[in-house]
Amino acid sequence: MLLSGEFSLDHGLVLGLGIASVILVVLIAVRMDVVDHEGHPIQLTYRFIGYWLWLLVEIVKSSLDVTRRIWSPSLPISPTMYILKAGQPGELGQVIYANSITLTPGTVTVRLDGGDILVHAIAREVGDALAAGEMDRRVARLEASGIKVVERAK
Amino acid sequence: MMFAAATIGLVVAMALALIRAYAGPTLYDRILAVNAFGTKTVLMIAVLGFLMGRPEFLDIALLYALINFIGTIAVLKFFRYGDLGRAGGRAEDEEGI
Amino acid sequence: MIEMLLDGLSWALLMGGCFFILTGGVGLLRLPGVYARMHAAGILDTLGAGLFLGGLMVQGGLSMVTAKLVLILVFILFTSPTATYALANALYGAGVRPVGRDGRQCETIDKRGKSSKP
């Protein structure tokens, strides 16, 4: 309904009732104390923007690299598996790290097991660059900042 | 003009994905190719909406994006467990790294 | 004047998107083994779809159309790593191992940088 782009009186009424019921349900859920830790990590939002921009640049860079590898006639690839240690203490940070690895072309997360991540890289250089650990450190910092925000809020 | 050119480019790319889906050789190659094909379908519907001057096509594209993801997960789950009703979690046959 | 600039920008974005989508298609055909092909699909999902929808957004201007395009792009960007991870995980669970260019299983490098050839 929101997507129809029409805001007449009856549309507004239904949307308003929808918003009201969402707020009511959230209030009840908070009061019942059934909100678990698997919610959307909203505490990270504003630190996220900086990380997203950095990740975007990385995606463009690695996309161009993989594109060059695909189009060059000699197909210069050397697929390799890497076992990496995730430097983030919490599950959320590890999931963000694993997802970032997959989102960057050239590296794919195959398995996440405790603190260990199994990664498939399209070439040795790509994997070695990931193993150098800049993304790992950035996600760890992001997660640490999020925890601080939550503790301050309590 | 530009939308027509983009559509032609998309059709060629879709044909490439179809060849991979046909050639296989494994089941997972096919799933990957179909997933890529689905993403291209979403883009195709979006650009067709512009080409025909009917922006309401975008709602369909949005729906396709949703269904493509759910379909891929459902097919993977089906071939893993043999049915769709099984609860998630760690399978007993799953080994660590 | 501005209109021509916007048109040129959207041409460039659309053609760039098409190029990366075609790259993904070619990679899907050329690369050996299903693990390597996932990287080609990754290009298609990130840069290809991003540039392509970006080109359409320039045409859409500030309107409901652009809002929907942003929604589609965000959705593709959020679901694509999840689907790829699910596929890779299922592959690994099914016992499929990545192969190198010679068609044999590729090497694994562990946390200390030690390489092991199977």
The residue whose two tokens read 């999020």 is A146
pLDDT of residue A134: 76
User: A28 lies in which domain range?
Assistant: 2-32
Mean pLDDT of chain C: 82
Spatial distance between the Cα atoms of A87 and A153, rounded to a whole number of angstroms: 25
What type of residue is C95?
G
In a domain, A136, yes or no: yes
Q: CA of C80, closest CA in chain A: separation in Å?
A: 8
Test mutation, B1, B2, B67, chain C, max C CBs within 10 A: B2
* A30 vs C113, residue with greater confidence: A30
Rounded to an integer, the average pLDDT of A5-20 is 77
Mean pLDDT of chain B: 81
Same domain, yes or no: A22 and A51 = no
Rounded to an integer, the average pLDDT of A71-98 is 79
Tens of pLDDT, residues A18-55: 889 999 988 888 777 666 555 555 555 667 777 888 88
Same domain, yes or no: A20 and A49 = no
Whether C35 and A78 lie within 8 Å, measured CB to CB: no
In a domain, A37, yes or no: no
Contact residues of B toward A, CB < 8 A: 59, 62, 96-97
Local structure of residue C46 (DSSP, 8 states):
I
* A3 vs A13, residue with greater confidence: A13
CA B42 to each of CA B12, B49, B58, C51, C79: distance values in angstroms, whole numbers, following the listed order = 15, 11, 9, 14, 13
Lowest model confidence (mean pLDDT) among A24-38, B45-59, C6-20: A24-38
Contact of A118 with chain B, judged by CB distance below 8 Å, is answered with: yes
* A20 vs B90, residue with greater confidence: A20
Q: CA of B22, closest CA in chain C: separation in Å?
A: 11
**Residue C93 clears pLDDT 60, i.e. is over it:** yes
pLDDT of residue C33: 79
Same domain, yes or no: A112 and A70 = yes
**Residue B82 clears pLDDT 70, i.e. is over it:** no
CA A75 to each of CA A1, A147, B5, C33: distance values in angstroms, whole numbers, following the listed order = 49, 44, 28, 13
Among A123, A129, A133, A146, residue whose Cα is nearest residue A42? A146
Grouping H, G, I as helix, E, B as strand and the rest as coil, residue A16 is helix
Same domain, yes or no: A139 and A118 = yes
Instruction: Give the number of domains in chain A.
Output: 2
What is the distance in angstroms between the CA of the first residue and the CA of the last residue of chain C? 62
**Residue B92 clears pLDDT 50, i.e. is over it:** no
pLDDT of residue C118: 56
Checking DSSP bridges between strand C108-109 and strand A80-85, what pairing results, if any?
Answer: parallel
pLDDT of residue A7: 63
Spatial distance between the Cα atoms of A108 and C15, rounded to a whole number of angstroms: 27
**Residue A153 clears pLDDT 70, i.e. is over it:** no
What residue in C sits closest to A77 (Cα-Cα)? C101
Same domain, yes or no: A81 and A116 = yes
Same domain, yes or no: A19 and A58 = no
Report ipTM for this prediction.
Answer: 0.83
pLDDT of residue A154: 47
**Domain ranges (residues) in chain C:** 2-116
Local structure of residue C48 (DSSP, 8 states):
I
Same domain, yes or no: A14 and A65 = no
